[in-house]
Amino acid sequence: MKGLMIGVSGVRGIVGMGLNPEVVLRLGQAFGTYLEGGRVIVGMDTRTSGPMIKSALISGLLSTGCKVIDLGISTTPTLQIMVEELKADGGIVISGSHNPSEWNALKFVRDDGIFLNANEAKELLNIYWQGSFLQAKWNEIHEVEKFENSSEIHISKVLKILDLDLIRKRKFRVAIDCCNGAGSIITPEFLKELGCDVIEIHTTPNGFFPHNPEPTFVNLGEISERTVSSGCDIGFAQDADADRCAIITENGEILSEEYTLTIVSDYVLSYKKGPVVCNLSTTRMMDEVTKRHNVELVRTPVGEVNVSEKMKEIGSVIGGEGNGGVIDPRVHYGRDSFVAIGLILEYMAKECKKISEIVKKFPRYYIDKRKIEFPRRRMKDLISYYKEKFKDEKINLDDGIRIDAEDFWIHIRMSGTEPVLRVIVESRSKKKTEEIVNKLLVEIEEMKG
């Protein structure tokens, strides 16, 4: 079924074309059985399918004897934090994240606020496929508790790590594009707490996305214009569940999402030394930043949980993903656009610099991210081919193949949820990146067999 993908990184699908209440109900039953009852936090983004999915999900959870705490509309980081705050046994995020309106998805959170890792997810999926679920008796069914203040709790945790006086004094003017997603209410409130004059773009939480919610170049023309025309110091664009964000400079330049983690890391490392974690698909600017601050950079396979677990293991001070997702363990081990926005404003305030000036501190790289359909069974051959072809370069095989040459790098990996290859290339010149990508795509096309 093409409209539904069930894998270790969660379940996602197109509403009405695979993702339906029957599937969701069973996932609720499976998660409740996996937790053996217990307290579960449920939250959703603004998609029109949210309430339909939530009802089915809660039904499944209650039928296994779980206690459900419903946050209503909630960003993904808010939900992750609330699982920890309320000492729940787990949580489920209902959000299609950066995917268009017709999509929705479920992501499962464990009791420490981190997503299930691959082994845990496999265990959950086994329960799902086997279909033997716990069944609570009539007197074991709990009520659903509504929890209203999750946004305030989340914001206050982020504010605690910031130098509020410093940021407020600058009275920044900030444009924010929430894409009518889960950040629509909480983000302007957060910025006002930071003393900002807020120019709101698409902050009606109705799930009708005015553009594709992926915070990348093609989707951010409007905020770029508004940032300049409203005389803003900076603009931010979130995806629909507000774990990721991209930056727009005061000149209207839409920065690649790769800059978000780079800038935040550079800032945090200036006052707090320690190892940094990012995934294998993240920009080489991260190597430069960590070198500059003389700390270690550890790269993990793609997937937020991989970064979170590694950060916890090695006591990392900052980490995340090049797709605009920043993780600061002082708040929690999950990607959080509020952490990113707060720390970037603080960096500008502290250095008395414009965002365009801060950007100049980093060497310019050109990254190209592609996806191409590819049969999983051919993956082994593809890896052997490139291993041989680039045998003189540094090779990492933790997640597909990453090749690190002197003036470029390539990461090719199979998507966790779809039969597609992700191909990422970065180099110091636009032309070179283009040349490498085009060559790879031709070679890969031939390898499909």
Binding site for Mg ion (CB under 5 A): 97, 239, 241, 243
Q: Which amino acid is at 111?
A: D
Helix-helix angle 186-193:337-351, to 10 degrees: 30
d(CA 279, CA 262): 13
Least distance between Mg ion and beta carbon 227 (Å): 22
Alpha carbons within 13 angstroms on the beta-carbon side of residue 299 total 20
> Which CB, 223 or 269, lies closer to Mg ion?
223
Q: Element (H or E) spanning 368, and its range? A: strand 366-373
Token pair 């945090």 is found at 268
DSSP 8-state class, residue 143: P
Q: What phi and psi, each to the nearest 5 degrees, are found at residue 357?
A: -75, -40
**For tokens 């727009």, what's the residue?**
248
Report the alpha-carbon distance of residue 275 to residue 266 in Å, rounded.
Answer: 12
Cα dihedral sign, 162-164-166-170: positive
Query: What phi and psi values does residue 368 have, to the nearest 5 degrees?
Result: -130, 125
Question: DSSP letters of 80-123?
Answer: HHHHHHTT-SEEEEE--TTS-TTEEEEEEEETTSSBP-HHHHHH
Catalytic site residue from 97, 150, 151, 316? 97
* 44 phi and psi angles, rounded to 5 deg: -145, 160
- Could you give the CA distance from residue 264 to residue 318 in angstroms, rounded to a whole number? 8
Calculated CA dihedral for residues 90, 93, 98, 102, nearest 10 degrees: 150
Question: Which residue lies nearer to Mg ion by CB, 39 or 335?
Answer: 335
97 carries an active-site annotation? yes
CB of 83 to Mg ion, least distance (A): 17
**CB-nearer residue toward Mg ion: 97 or 101:** 97
| Nearest to Mg ion of 80, 97 (CB atom) | 97
Using the minimum distance from each CB to Mg ion, give the nearer residue, 89 or 241: 241
Tokens of 95: 């959000």
User: Is the Cβ–Cβ distance between 141 and 65 less than 8 Å?
Assistant: yes
Compute the distance between CA of residue 138 and CA of residue 237 in angstroms, rounded to an integer: 47
Q: What residue type is assigned to position 217 of the chain?
A: F
Q: Which is nearer to Mg ion, 239 or 328 (CB)?
A: 239
Residue closer to Mg ion, measured from CB, 71 or 358: 71
Minimum CB–partner distance for residue 14 and Mg ion (Å): 17
Q: Residues with catalytic annotation?
A: 97
